[in-house]
Structure 1
Amino acid sequence: MKCRHFFVTWDAQAPRGCRAFGFKTKQMPSVAVKRSSGHPCFQFSPKEGVKK
């Protein structure tokens, strides 16, 4: 949720999405990327104004 590419959809079957990779999913996009590639998301970019 802290990534600038994360977004919430209106789709009840896939309520979360990633603009960087262009997909929607039921789980958190970062988890989907990690499961499919085995690596943390390399497109992660923090949102403006969000502190770690």
Structure 2
Amino acid sequence: MKEQAVNCIKCRHFCITWDPAFPNGCRAYGFKSASRPAMMVKKSSGITCLKYEPKASK
């Protein structure tokens, strides 16, 4: 089974921060990063983000 890449932009936990050095944030994990949070989760833990939840459609 191949893992799907997580698109943080479509996740309800993704946020844009005011910090120019760390513009991408994840409310679920509670951190900011320079790259997309899902990439940082994959890089640090070796597994795909488990907190991904799609945004509610309008």
Q: Which runs of 4+ in 1 moved over 6 A?
A: none
Give me the identity figure in percent: 50
TM-score normalised according to structure 1 size = 0.92
In structure 1, how many angstroms separate the alpha carbons of the residues matched to 2:13 and 2:29? Answer: 9
Q: Deviations over 1:1-52 (max 9, x none)?
A: 11100000010000000000000000000100000010000000000118xx
Show the counterpart of 1:2: 10
> Unaligned regions of 5+ residues in structure 1, if any?
none
- Which has the higher Rg, Structure 1 or Structure 2? 2
Amino acid in the other structure paired with 2:49: C
Show the counterpart of 1:49: 57
| Count of residue pairs brought into register by the alignment | 50
RMSD, matched Cα: 1.1
2:25 to 10, 17, 23: 17
TM-score normalised according to structure 2 size = 0.82
